[in-house]
Chain A
Amino acid sequence: MEITTKQIQQVETYLDKKSFDFIDLKVEVLDHMISDIESFLDNNYSFENAFKITVLKWDQHFKDTSSFYFGLQYHESKIVVKKAVKMFRPFFLLYLSACFLPILFLKNFSIIFSKSTIYLVNGFLNLITAVFLIYLIFIIITVIKSKVKTTYRFILRTQYLGIIFLIIPLLMGNHFNEKGNLEPVLTGFLFGGFAVTYICHYFFKKHQAEITKYKIS
Chain B
Amino acid sequence: MPDPKKPKADFSDVESGSSSTAPEAPPPAAERTYTVVKGDSLSKIAKRYYGDAQQWRRIYEANRDQIKDPDLIHPGQTFRIPD
Binding partners A and B: no
Give chain B's interface residues, CB within 8 Å of chain A: none
Residues of A within 8 A of B (CB): none
